[in-house]
Amino acid sequence: MPVPYTVIVIPGVTATYLRDLYPLPPETIWAVMHKDFERSQMHPDNTRYEAAQPAMTRPDQLYEIAYKELIEELRYNLCESVDKPVPVYPFGYDWRHPLDITEEALADFIDEVIDRTKLLRHYAKDGYGEAPKVNLVGHSMGGLVVAGYVERFGTGKINKIATLATPYKGSFEAMVKMATGTANIGGTVPSSREREAARLTPSLYHLLPSFKTGSRLHQTPACRNQPSRRSWGNPRSSRRSWPISIVTQSIGRAQNPAGPNRERICSRSCWARPRVTASGSIIWTFPTRVSIPTVGSALSAPGPRRGRAWR
């Protein structure tokens, strides 16, 4: 019996610890029970880096409360004997970044995992190096990362793919989080800090739902109280509310010209951008329609999404 292929588990949004390597010793700024919004919020001028500088933030381990049992069960049930382990690797990534950055990181990680698996004696004996592949398990936004990887890099190094609770058509929680800060992404207590951090988190814009006729966001008079340009890099000074009313129309399955058997699965170029008015106020412009590419037959079309699963 051939040995099973190595497995890589890709977690959902917010489910990877973030660690700042700039201080000595390094400090964890995002964990299950600790979320430092001031240090993890991205800079509006360059959302690849934090607003609070100097810093050197890197992804760390996965949330053990959500993924430890899954990974341990896979490691136990896939191996025939203790002396022939089947590697199951957790893929920790910076979930704040655009998905194309994460997809490239996953491609490098797959190459590393394959090279490491070749060094295992029972895999080398079984001829794994002749056609090395891995299995991918993506949870929530991790499934979108997998889909984007397949679209860009193909399935030459992939044996099988499984996705769990992946919002292929988007999630209203991402929209609600950016508009009000009251969704279930991140902390348990709704706050203006979470709303402001969410609007500067590029990955969340990949989770915006797709509509048949789009969505409209109308500003209210209270938007005149938005913080000035000078407060962009200082999260402590931007505590004012940014009320936005959301109007959706004809919500339904998006029309997909690529064919009925393909699903819209990941968003590109759907970022909100801050616009500064003559008076110095900031207006956040959200996309009125999300443009989402398709993936081929490597992924089957998902059914209706049930329940909420964000980590």
- Report pLDDT digits (tens) over 255-273: 333 333 333 333 333 334 4
Cα–Cα distance measured from residue 41 to residue 54, given in angstroms and rounded to the nearest whole number: 13
Q: Are residues 10 and 155 in the same domain?
A: yes
Q: Is 147 inside any structural domain?
A: yes
- Find the radius of gyration of the CA atoms of the chain: 21
Encoded tokens for 27: 């400090």
Report the range of poorest mean pLDDT among 22-26, 63-67, 135-139: 63-67
Burial 235-266 (b: 16+ CB within 10 A, else e): beebeeebebeeeeeeeeebeeeeeeebbbbb
**93 closest CA partner among 74, 132, 67:** 67
Q: Which residues contact 105 (CB under 8 A, 6 or more apart)?
A: 93
DSSP 129: G
Q: State pLDDT tens for residues 40-54.
A: 999 988 888 999 999
Q: Are residues 245 and 272 in the same domain?
A: yes
- Domain count for the chain: 2
Encoded tokens for 80: 């025939």
Given a cut of 80, is residue 285 above it in pLDDT? Answer: no
Q: Is 197 inside any structural domain?
A: yes
Percent of the chain with pLDDT over 90: 46
Q: Are residues 100 and 212 in the same domain?
A: no
Q: Are residues 133 and 29 in the same domain?
A: yes
Do 59 and 92 contact (CB within 8 A), yes or no? yes
Pairing mode, strands 282-285 and 273-276: antiparallel
Q: Are residues 99 and 180 in the same domain?
A: no
Percent of the chain with pLDDT over 70: 64
What is residue 192's predicted lDDT score, i.e. its pLDDT? 76
Q: Is 275 inside any structural domain?
A: yes
Cα–Cα distance measured from residue 261 to residue 163, given in angstroms and rounded to the nearest whole number: 17
Q: Is 303 inside any structural domain?
A: no
CATH of the domain at 69: 3.40.50
Q: Is 307 inside any structural domain?
A: no
Cα–Cα distance measured from residue 160 to residue 217, given in angstroms and rounded to the nearest whole number: 40
Q: State pLDDT tens for residues 128-148.
A: 999 999 999 999 999 999 999
Q: State pLDDT tens for residues 85-133.
A: 999 999 999 999 999 999 999 999 999 999 999 999 999 999 999 999 9
Q: Are residues 142 and 39 in the same domain?
A: yes
Name the residue range of residue 189's domain: 172-285
Q: Are residues 10 and 150 in the same domain?
A: yes
Q: Are residues 14 and 146 in the same domain?
A: yes
Cα–Cα distance measured from residue 265 to residue 300, given in angstroms and rounded to the nearest whole number: 11
Q: Are residues 45 and 61 in the same domain?
A: yes
Q: Is 293 inside any structural domain?
A: no
Cα–Cα distance measured from residue 10 to residue 12, given in angstroms and rounded to the nearest whole number: 7
Q: Report which of residues 209 and 214 the model is more confident about.
A: 209
Q: Could you report how far apart the first and last alpha carbons of the chain are, in Å?
A: 35
